[in-house]
Structure 1
Amino acid sequence: MGTRTRKRTPTDRQSYEVEAEWSEADLALLEELKRAEGRLPDDAPRALLSIRLSVLTDDTTSPVRQELDLRKLALDRGRRVIGVASDLNVSATKVPPWKRKELGDWLNNRAPEFEEILFWKLDRFVRRLTDLSTMIDWCFKYGKNLVSKHDAIDLTTTTGKIMVTIIGGIAEIEAANTSTRVTSLWDYTKTQSAWLVGKPPYGYETAEDESGRIVLVIDKDAYRALHWCRDAAMRPKPASARRMARVLVRARLCGPGLTASTLLRRLRNPALIGYRVEEDKNGGVRRSKVVLGSDAKPIRVADPIFTEDEFDGLQAALDRRGKDQPTRTPGGATQFLGVLICDDCGTNMTVQKNRVKDRSYMYLRCGKCKAGGHGAPNPYEIYSKLVEDVLKVLGTEPVMTREYRQGAEARKEQQRLEQSISYYMTGLEPGGRFTKTRFTKEKAEKTLDDLIKQLESIDPESTQDRWVAVHNGKSFQARWEEGGMEAMAADLLRIGVKCKVKRTTVKGVRAPRIHMKLVIPKDVRERLIIKDDDFAESF
């Protein structure tokens, strides 16, 4: 049965594009709302608008509508809009608020800039009760409020707190039902020979047959690329995966981001025989395995790109050229990954394992230099030298942690003092209540002087919500002695410290001479400040 040339995606839902949604009327209304907001007092409470959308369909509310409605709500509440956290094409079930690109930055780094978070509906904000509970705890800790346009949510009232929990529970039930339906669909799909949903494996694309069903057909460019790679791997002197990737990119048969590891994963995928596959999660290597049907036989979903003999021959050729690299560990095979970089090409240095005759050894190599730039032997010696250099430069620096300070109490005290000063100044005016006797006048003047001194002693910064750096009594050397190289590596990666490794060939000597140079950011002291993660337990 023939297929139509028109391609079709597995779903009709489309990603949202901001530029295409704002109409002239919307923009005019936006400007009108901003002008009205400009008439609010300077000390008006500040609001952050949270906008989210997974996909744009006829049943969803567009981000433009959400923003305009929330700006009206902020204006009605007398709030000044300080910013808009717009996270589009983001699932609230999969991505909690603190992990979204824009809203997460406001929550983790810009909390002093707003007092309220406004959202259109609770399911636009969260869809899991645990995420909602985490956000409520965060709001109580930082003195923030959550307000919904279409739900009775207000953390400043007992009723609002109860309501937000009930609505959040309903949203989680709805999300759980959706998850169950999706999981059931995928489980059913795995047993079918027809292609129902999902992204096709490399080498195939979706099309419609004459009956309108979605089927998998072979992508011609991918077919050429895969067969060329098989021929290159089966030569007496086979080409490396890196060489194959460069040729395919240069021939424009693959995108510029193709890497050797991605190419190898494609070449080892049993889907190239036309079988249905699923991810094999055993071990640290990403592979796919064949799904067996109820008859214990592989389920064929498309015409094969390789015959079974061709595929088996390709796997044997790849196995002959493959090397037994260090086993993946939770911390990674390479320590200080992302810190140690090649001085010549600027890519990360990674640990590789090689075997010559009966002797195996490990060395560091980069990603782009030819043959790894001669390599850097003895990784642990390089680690030790890096630790020594870092301790000399940064070991004595104090460990500072970031803490959040609210200015509400200081603002109340400032307001009380200003009112008291105004009261006494009025009473000391001619004919005022404190000018009737010398005794009352002197007492009032003394009290007024004391109040003025108290007001002058209040630091203006203490009246603002702010982050402050507090010394925890330790140096970074003590911190790293307790946490080991893992703690040091995490801190160096966090603050952006790099160590350039330069390798110089020595005549008559196989191993190169190694030179190491630390690159420290100019604002290293500011970067060293540890920012505690309020949401760490929620991940």
Structure 2
Amino acid sequence: MKKVTRSRQRPHTTDTLWRETDLALLKELMTAEASLPSDAPRALLSVRLSTLTAETTSPVRQELDLRRLAREQGYRVVGVASDLNVSATRVPPWRRRELGHWLNDRVPEFDVLLFWKLDRLVRRLTDLSTMIEWCHRHGKNLVSKHDAIDLSSPVGKVMTEIIGGIAEIETAAISTRVSSLWDYTRTQSDWLVGKPPYGYTIDDRGVLVIDPQEERVLRWCLGAALRGVSARRMTTVLIRAGVPTGGGGQWTASTLLRRLRNPALMGFRVSESKSGGARRSETVLGVDGNPIRVADPIVTEAEWLSLQAALGERAKSQPTRRKRGATEFLGVLVCADCGTHMTAHRSRGKVRTYEYLRCRRCPSGGLGAPDPESVYSRLTDEIVNALGSEPVRVREYALGTDSLDRRRTVEMAIAHYMTGLEPGGRYARTSFTRQQAEQSLGKLITELERLDPKTSEDRWLQTSSGGTFRERWDREDRETMAGDLRRAGITCSVSRHKVPGVRAPHVGLKLIIPADAKERLVIKRDAFTGESS
């Protein structure tokens, strides 16, 4: 029998969007749902919007319509996955915050996924095909409020793929219109659409003009860069001074460098280029072959060239980046004093390059931990000694069997024989009928004992891969080990203590293993990509 959660449900969308009439209808629908039998199919409602405006279908309307559909179909609503301000084109269902959590970790808790319209679920045919395949593997169904979609029938599956193809064509048409608009605006000297670059703003007439405050920030950064000040030092000063970034969030060295390298500082129109994996802005040329000017310049061409030369010269003096980042156990090594992550830093001296671990909040990064490789090796040895003998277990999804129906049949037969064996019953009249009935009753009781009620439910199983984590870590690299440790919530506290007469501090390591670490070490395979996590 399926487990039913009786916890009180509440509106899952933004509370301010619910009116009194909506809440009254919600209460009515939930009251009707309470009268459903305990084994009614369980429904998960999916609510999604790209942007919430007055013209869009509100999430409240979507949820109420889906609850009406669930009542009509006899489904019990077990949850609502509400993902607002999420693009279905960019983010597939299994990557969304709420719906993705249900699809990846709470699969046994529902039987059917309800959505308002197909474009509320997916906008790419490949994503729809992936969802259909996932539903078949996990014994789930897709049902739409406004489309003829129901995977329980062959016709419904075909209609799902046809509607999905139409939705993808519509998405491609929208993308083409947007791209054409951007292509047109790039050739115009007027600012028609888009967010202005840092240092500029749009006035009441829709004209791109210089923002005085942001101009002062850029002019200060120009002077600092020409004096040899690093971008990291400049960001520290800007953060301490409380200077707004102009786009939310906090200042970072990469964000500042991107703005200082932007030709838009000279008042030119630019477009983004991602050649070589780096985000850079390039000047857009007009039909005459010259840059298109859209505003007054913040810096002159000579100043911009001097700035690029200064930034380029400082970039040459920086150590080359490692392919997987400077810190091998990022997120595992934490400072014992301030609790922030330890990160690896390298500085190049006149003779050689120095590498050390430091934290974020301690003054000057704390005492530092020289020779990160020795710290990694010590951590690896301690982890292998503590957890290397643990067997590698993988989480697998198991569909329920038909034993539930057989169990009900056996229980009914047992009740039948027990009633007949009571005094005055049909099997208590002669010794022969009593003996035959008791034999049949014994067989049924034995069969009932063998029927495990747990096998009738969809559930997660943990299977062994036949090896230990020591063998897994010997076979793979440190990044695999670090991923396992992060998944299990295992951290290593790094302490540094000054030793008299010795320049380098003493580095101590303390492994912190949560009580449930062994359960969290279980490998969970992504049902949509096949990757392990």
Secondary structure of the residue aligned to 1:536 is coil
Q: Which amino acid aligns with 1:216?
A: L
1:58-207 superposed matches below 5 A: 59-207=55-203
CA distance in 1 between partners of 2:44 and 2:75 (Å): 9
1:301 partnered with 2:291 = no
1:221 partnered with 2:217 = no
Q: Aligned match of 1:463 in 445, 456, 459?
A: 456
1:190-269 superposed matches below 5 A: 190-209=186-205, 214-235=206-227, 239-254=229-244, 257-269=250-262
Tell me what 1:12 maps to: none
Q: Aligned match of 2:19 in 3, 11, 23?
A: 23
Asked if 2 retains the 8 angstrom alpha-carbon contact of 1:325 and 1:352, the reply is no
1:335 partnered with 2:328 = yes
Q: TM-score, normalised by structure 2?
A: 0.89
Q: Which amino acid aligns with 1:22?
A: W
- Tell me by how many angstroms 1:59 deviates: 4.8
Asked if 1 retains the 8 angstrom alpha-carbon contact of 2:397 and 2:461, the reply is yes
1:32 partnered with 2:32 = no
Instruction: Report the RMSD for the aligned CA atoms in angstroms.
Output: 2.5
Asked if 2 retains the 8 angstrom alpha-carbon contact of 1:229 and 1:244, the reply is yes
Q: Aligned match of 1:445 in 438, 445, 449?
A: 438
CA shift in 2, pair 1:366/1:158, >3 Å: same
* CA offsets 1:42-70 (integer angstroms, 9 cap, x no match): 22221110011112345532111111111
Asked if 2 retains the 8 angstrom alpha-carbon contact of 1:428 and 1:434, the reply is yes
Q: TM-score, normalised by structure 1?
A: 0.88
1:323-402 superposed matches below 5 A: 323-329=317-323, 331-402=324-395
- Tell me by how many angstroms 1:270 deviates: 2.3
- Tell me by how many angstroms 1:526 deviates: 1.4
Secondary structure of the residue aligned to 1:49 is strand
Tell me what 1:410 maps to: 403
CA distance in 2 between partners of 1:354 and 1:283 (Å): 25
1:500 partnered with 2:496 = no
CA shift in 2, pair 1:522/1:218, >3 Å: farther
1:486 partnered with 2:482 = no
CA shift in 2, pair 1:484/1:278, >3 Å: same
- Tell me by how many angstroms 1:93 deviates: 1.0
- Tell me by how many angstroms 1:267 deviates: 2.4
CA shift in 2, pair 1:347/1:103, >3 Å: same
CA distance in 1 between partners of 2:91 and 2:450 (Å): 45
Deviates more, 1:198-207 or 1:421-430: 421-430
The count of residues paired between Structure 1 and Structure 2 equals 516
CA shift in 2, pair 1:403/1:246, >3 Å: same
Secondary structure of the residue aligned to 1:499 is strand
CA distance in 2 between partners of 1:316 and 1:366 (Å): 31
Q: Percent identity?
A: 59
Asked if 2 retains the 8 angstrom alpha-carbon contact of 1:377 and 1:511, the reply is yes
Q: Which amino acid aligns with 2:352?
A: R
- Tell me by how many angstroms 1:471 deviates: 1.9
CA distance in 2 between partners of 1:97 and 1:79 (Å): 22
Tell me what 2:46 maps to: 50
Tell me, which stretches of 5 or more residues in structure 2 are unaligned? 1-12
CA distance in 2 between partners of 1:507 and 1:287 (Å): 49
* CA offsets 1:396-415 (integer angstroms, 9 cap, x no match): 11111112223342312322
CA distance in 2 between partners of 1:363 and 1:282 (Å): 32
- Tell me by how many angstroms 1:205 deviates: 2.3
Secondary structure of the residue aligned to 1:449 is helix
1:521 partnered with 2:517 = no
